[in-house]
Amino acid sequence: MTPRDAQTRAETVGSLLRSPGALHAAASRDPGDAAVLDAAVLDAIKLQRDAGVDVITDGELRRSNWADTSDFLDCFDKLAGNTGGLRWRGGANTPAGGHAVAYDTVARRVATATRRGDRSAQYAFLAEHAVTRTKFTLPAPSYHRRYWWAEVSGAVYPSAEEYLTEIRDALREVVDRVVALGCDYIQLDAPNYGSLCDPDHRAWLAAAGVDVDAQIAFDAALDSSLFAGLGDVTRAVHVCRGNAPGGRWHSTGGYGAISAQLFPRLEVDRLLLEYDTERSGTFGPLADVPPGVVAVLGLLTTKSGELEDESAVRERIAEAATVKPLDELAVSTQCGFASVAAGNPITPDQQARKLELVATVARAIWG
C-alpha cells in the first residue's frame, strides 16, 4: 500500500444527486447548457470537500447514467427482449417483469464504431477545479457482458470474449487520456460480479450453459489488463449489487460465492465492497482479499435517507478488522447516490450527512 492510499480512508463511490437544472442540462445535450453542468460540478466538489472525504468525483453529473458507454460508442442498439440477465427487486416502482423493455445490445463491432465525443472530457473540469485527490469512474470492461445477446451479437462476433477485448481497448483509450490529465485513481464499477453472488442469477446462467468459473477467470484477467502499465495509479474495482431509482437492487447473497475465485485474480489496489444490508453476508470473504489490497467497506447505504449510527458503523469496522487488518480497510457509502439520472429516494441534506459521517468515522478510526 502506498502512503497515498494509506491516507485515503473516506470515500464516496461515484454519483451524486442531480438538481432539476442539472437533470435538464444533462438530458438536453445542448452546448448552451454546459455552464449549468459546470456549476453543478463545482457544487459537487464543494459538497465532498466540505464533508471531508479523501477522494472525490465529479458526481457523474454529466452522464446519462453511470454506465454511459453507449453514449460514446455507436456499436449498440436498444432491443426489446434482451434483459441483460437482470431481475430488479426491492424499492418502489419496480417495472412489471423486473427489467426494462429494451436494453443496450452490441450490434456492430466496437473496433470500427464511431466515437461520439471525448469521454475523458468529463474528468478535465474536475481536474482543473478540485484541490484534493480525485478519481475517475467507469464501467468495468467485464460489465459489458450485459450488452451481449447471442441472438444478435453472435452475428457480429464469434465470441463474447472477443467483443469484450475490444471494449477493453476502447476504455483504455479513455483511461490513458484521463491519466494524462493528472488522474491517479481509476475505479471500475462491476455489478456483474455482484450478480454472481446471487443464487437465482447463477441458476439462470447454469441453465443457459454458462461456465461461471471460466467466466470469472476471464473477466478478472480482462479487467486487470485495463490497468497494465499505468504506473503510479491507484487501481480499484467496485463490486456492486444494483442501484436504481426507488432504491431497487438486483443481487443478493454474500461475497463468499465469488471471493476465493475473484478477489485474488483482480490485480488492484482497492476493492470497494457493499456491506450496507444483510444481503451482503458476513465479513468472512475479506480473508480472500490479498494482503496489501485495501478493502473499502460500503457501510452507509445510499438507498434510503436514514442516517446510520456512528457507533454501529465503527463496531462493524472493528468486526471486519478481525478478518482483514485495520490498516488495510477504509470506509465509504455503499454505492453512488444517483447511478441513473432520477437518483435514489434521498434528499440532498441526507446525502451530505452520510458523506460527513463517512469522513467522521474515518478520522476517528485512522486519524
Say if residue 344's pLDDT is above 70. yes
Say if residue 227's pLDDT is above 70. yes
Rounded (10°) CA dihedral 155, 158, 159, 161: -120
How does strand 102-106 pair with strand 76-80? antiparallel
pLDDT digits (tens, 9 = 90+) for 201-211: 888 888 889 99
- Average pLDDT on 8-12 reads 96
Residues of the chain above pLDDT 90, percent: 73
Task: Determine the pLDDT at residue 93.
Answer: 44
pLDDT digits (tens, 9 = 90+) for 106-124: 999 999 999 998 999 989 9
Say if residue 310's pLDDT is above 50. yes
Task: Determine the pLDDT at residue 71.
Answer: 92
At residue 260 the predicted structure's pLDDT band, cuts being 50, 70 and 90, is very high
Q: Helices marked H in the chain — which ranges?
A: 3-6, 20-28, 34-51, 69-72, 121-129, 150-153, 160-180, 191-195, 199-207, 212-225, 259-262, 310-320, 348-366
> What structural domains and CATH numbers belong to the chain?
3-366 (3.20.20.210)
Say if residue 254's pLDDT is above 60. yes
Say if residue 193's pLDDT is above 70. yes
Region of residue 292 (phi > 0: left; psi between -120 and 50: alpha; otherwise: beta): left
Task: Determine the pLDDT at residue 246.
Answer: 56
- Average pLDDT on 24-41 reads 84
Task: Determine the pLDDT at residue 90.
Answer: 59
Task: Determine the pLDDT at residue 134.
Answer: 97
Task: Determine the pLDDT at residue 84.
Answer: 61
Task: Determine the pLDDT at residue 247.
Answer: 53
Cα distance between residue 280 and residue 28, in whole Å: 37
- Better pLDDT: 237 or 33: 237
Cα distance between residue 161 and residue 173, in whole Å: 19
pTM above 0.95, yes or no: no
pLDDT digits (tens, 9 = 90+) for 135-168: 999 999 999 999 999 999 999 999 999 999 999 9
pLDDT digits (tens, 9 = 90+) for 55-110: 999 999 998 889 999 999 999 999 987 766 666 555 544 443 444 467 899 999 99
Task: Determine the pLDDT at residue 85.
Answer: 60
Answer yes or no: are the C-beta atoms of 293 and 268 closer than 8 Å.
Answer: yes
Least Cα distance to 255 among 222, 293, 295 occurs for: 295
At residue 245 the predicted structure's pLDDT band, cuts being 50, 70 and 90, is low
- Average pLDDT on 176-196 reads 96
